[in-house]
Amino acid sequence: MHGFARPSAALFGAAAVTLLCTCGEERPPLASAGRDERSAELADADAARGRRLVSAHGCIACHTMPGVRGPASNVGPPLDGLARRAYLGGTLPNSPANLVRWLLDPPAVNPRTAMPNTGLAPAEAADIAAFLLARP
């Protein structure tokens, strides 16, 4: 008696190809914010001031971002293309309001994060969010 028949290698191969084909699929952010929503949430924010704040607060000590000079660091994730990401800090759906919330107190959002509370004022966090969301 042979018992149960063993699945063929072709079946395993087909399953593997299916999984691989879906892994690289580009998906829009779960909470994508359109240009109008971003403008409303960050109406008083200044992206140029946000760029200066990124340098002044030492964000580049842990993060790399296009257009901001500093040491090559890989402690935190690179911050280019932030507007296209689905989540912020691994837990928050990506929106301008959530980015400001994250920047104000990362450990309050995700206690396991390595990002410290930087002591930003709400206006500073909004400026930095405007700068980061405008980056390609």
Q: Are strands 92-93 and 87-88 parallel, antiparallel or unpaired?
A: antiparallel
DSSP summary character for residue 83: G
Amino acid at 127: D
**How far from the centroid of its chain's Cα atoms is residue 35's Cα?**
17
pLDDT per residue as tens digits for the range 46-89: 999 999 999 899 898 999 887 788 777 888 999 889 999 999 98
Nearest to 119 by CA among 42, 61, 59: 59
**Cα–Cα distance measured from residue 96 to residue 102, given in angstroms and rounded to the nearest whole number:** 10
Query: Model pTM greater than 0.75?
Result: no
CB 77 within 8 A of CB 87: no
Query: Which of 6-20, 35-49, 67-81, 103-117 comes out lowest in average pLDDT?
Result: 6-20
CATH architecture designation of domain 43-134: Orthogonal Bundle (1.10)
CA distance 12 to 112: 38
Q: What is the mean pLDDT of the chain?
A: 79
CA distance 123 to 92: 20
Structure confidence at residue 31 (pLDDT): 42
